[in-house]
Structure 1
Amino acid sequence: MISVCMATYNGEKYIEKQMRSILSQISGEDEVVIQDDCSSDNTIEIIKSLRDPRIRVEINEKNQGHIKNFEIALTRAKGDIIFLSDQDDEWMPGKVEAVLRAFQDAGTMGVVTDAVVVDAEDKIINESYFQITGSRSGVLKNYIHNSYLGCCLAFRREVLQPALPIPRSVRTHDGWLGIVANMLGDVVFLDEKLLRYKRHGNNASQMHRFGMGDVIKRRLSLAFHMVRVQPTIYAVRQARIRKGENAK
């Protein structure tokens, strides 16, 4: 079973196109888990108008912010494989199929696809997000410079056990989830461009640099939490080994 987790907030301009691009690729047993952060526009009305039983919408009683909103969605997910999704991108045909194919290797804990970067009018800004960030796998590499982009990330359910709750002192939820997945096993970076990643000035996450002091503070915090979750990482890995042995 697949769970697509999406955090929404005032996304009426792009949400329908994104939802249709997702729903067309998942099965009847899969789900789209939407956590809305008190949208004041027609986001929820548009989602409900799709009348798809695979969509599970919950609205926060008060604004929680981007990271907490995603965290709540993740706690509601029921799937074995969890995809993260933004509200304003577009999944390209074959995304789900390619990602699930990568998960056929039992050692794969996460998968990241490349993306075409587009502007608000859907015009291409850059042909490859990987080229912008030098994206590749590796715990140390992504500790130094995060290249996990949430809207391109999928991971096994086991990642949630050590990853939740998401530490508020780390910069991004996707960087944290990607690192935890890589601590548990392999994270595969697919060169296939399977997403139109929209940058329009109102994104909840922004592509910009931070001051050196802030970077050092965040890196120290990330290191602390990586050490903190090591016992849980070990327990999950041992459980997976036992599960694999029992399946033989």
Structure 2
Amino acid sequence: MSERVTVTVCMATYNGSAYVEHQLRSILDDLASGDDVVVVDDASTDETAEIVERIGDPRIRLIRQEENRGYVRTFEAAIRAAAGDVLLLADQDDEWVPGRRDILAEAARRDGIAASNLSLLGSDSPLPSPLSGRAWRLRDATSDHRLRNEVRILAGMAPYFGCAMAIRRDLLAAILPFPDYLTESHDLWIATVGNVTGRMRHVEETTVRRRIHDTNASSSRPRGVRRALASRWMLVRLWREALRRRDRVS
């Protein structure tokens, strides 16, 4: 990297005892000196928090929430607790690709918000598009297509995933606080801020292997019409809010 920055990894956990240790070890192996990990546990009823503690790595800071607040507010709490120059988001059940830290930290340092591609854990196949079934990938050449990218978000065609994102600290002025009505898809809110402010960078490298299982927070199952419409309306509101906040970023 041309300029050394510190990184904080922000993770939200809830009943993730099956995979959280594997994920954290893949993260810790990739970190640089001065980096750390903030894990906010959303009142898990299994041994997730105890497993995180037993890893015994001083780079991990565990925050236990006494009441379950849902993954969106838990990620917001992790982001608020972060101290690094660049924040990397991480789910509790994936696996980092070696080199992810430097790739995303450099992209976020230069541009503000970075979103990379991901593959499926076990096969390394690209994530399939829910509409076409073909490889669902971000292209660097479309990073600056601000309006087109936002339209793709509204249409459910943009492969922005929080587990493959990085945020430069100064962009938090526009991202936080999360809007009160943001009840899902915090990653699409962050991507919307990136596109509206012109600070989005698409990273074509694959930096995370996503584990698909029955308890993923982001489900691939089809939604009912009412829920789909409510989700689209929320995204429109988020776009408007991002436009209102964009002057917070110099």
Q: TM-score, normalised by structure 2?
A: 0.83
Unmatched 5+ stretches in structure 2: 1-5, 129-133, 144-148
Q: Structure 1's 202 and 170: CA in aligned 2 closer, same or farther, altered over 3 A?
A: closer
**Partner residue of 1:115 out of 115, 118, 122:** 118
- Paired residues of 2:174 and 2:248 also in contact (CA < 8 A): no
Equivalent position of 1:142 in the other structure: 153
Closer, same or farther: CA 210–233 of 1 in aligned 2, 3 Å: same
User: Bigger CA drift: 150-159 or 205-214?
Assistant: 205-214
In the TM superposition, residue 170 of structure 1 has moved relative to its aligned partner by: 5.5
**1:54 paired to 2:65:** no
In 2, the alpha carbon distance for the partners of 1:218 and 1:16 equals 32
Q: For the residues of structure 2 that align with 1:172 and 1:101, how far apart are their CA atoms?
A: 25
Q: Is the 8 A contact 1:83 1:153 kept in 2?
A: yes
Which residue of 2 is the match for residue 69 of structure 1? 74
**Aligned equivalent of 1:127:** 125
Match of 1:154 in 2: 166
TM-aligned CA deviation for residue 134 of structure 1: 4.9
Structure 1: which 5+ residue stretches go unaligned?
A: 240-248
Partner of 1:215: 228
1:168-209 superposed Cα distances (whole Å, 9 cap, x missing partner): 346411111111122222322222222110001111221233
Single out whichever of 56-65 and 209-218 deviates more from structure 2. 209-218
Query: Which is further off, 9-18 or 212-221?
Result: 212-221
Residues 127/97 of structure 1: CA separation in 2 closer, same or farther (3 Å cut): same
> Please, what is the CA RMSD of the aligned residues?
2.1
The CA deviation at 1:18 is 0.8
Kindly provide the CA deviation profile for residues 107-143 of structure 1, in whole angstroms up to 9, marking residues without a partner as x: x12212222213xxxx32x611275445454223223
C-alpha displacement of 1:99: 1.5
> Separation in 2 of the partners of 1:109 and 1:143?
22
Question: 1:16 is aligned with what amino acid?
Answer: E
Question: In the TM superposition, what are the counterparts of 1:24-35 in structure 2 within 5 Å?
Answer: 24-35=29-40
In 2: Cα distance, 1:206 partner to 1:214 partner: 13
Look up the SS of the partner of 1:74 in the other structure.
Answer: helix
8 Å CA contact 1:12, 1:46 repeated in 2:
yes
C-alpha distance in structure 2 between counterparts of 1:103 and 1:169, whole Å: 24
- The residue aligned with 2:131 is none
Per-residue CA deviation, residues 80-127 of structure 1 (Å, 9 max, x unaligned), is 21111001101011111222232353xx12212222213xxxx32x61
TM-score, scaled to structure 1: 0.84
| Deviations 1:203-224 (CA, angstroms, capped at 9, x unpaired) | 1221233234433333233222
- Distance in 1 (CA, whole Å) between partners of 2:16 and 2:184 is 23
Identity in percent: 33
Shift of 1:62: 0.8
**Cα drift, residue 60 of structure 1:** 0.5
Q: Which residue of 2 aligns with 1:11?
A: 16
Matches of 2:169 and 2:196, distance apart in 1? 14
Task: Name the amino acid aligned to 2:200.
Answer: V
Separation (CA, whole Å) in 1 of partners of 2:241 and 2:115: 25
CA distance in 2, matches of 1:169, 1:193: 28
* Cα distance between partner residues in 1 of 2:103 and 2:54: 29
Q: Deviations over 1:50-82 (max 9, x none)?
A: 222211111111111111111111111112211
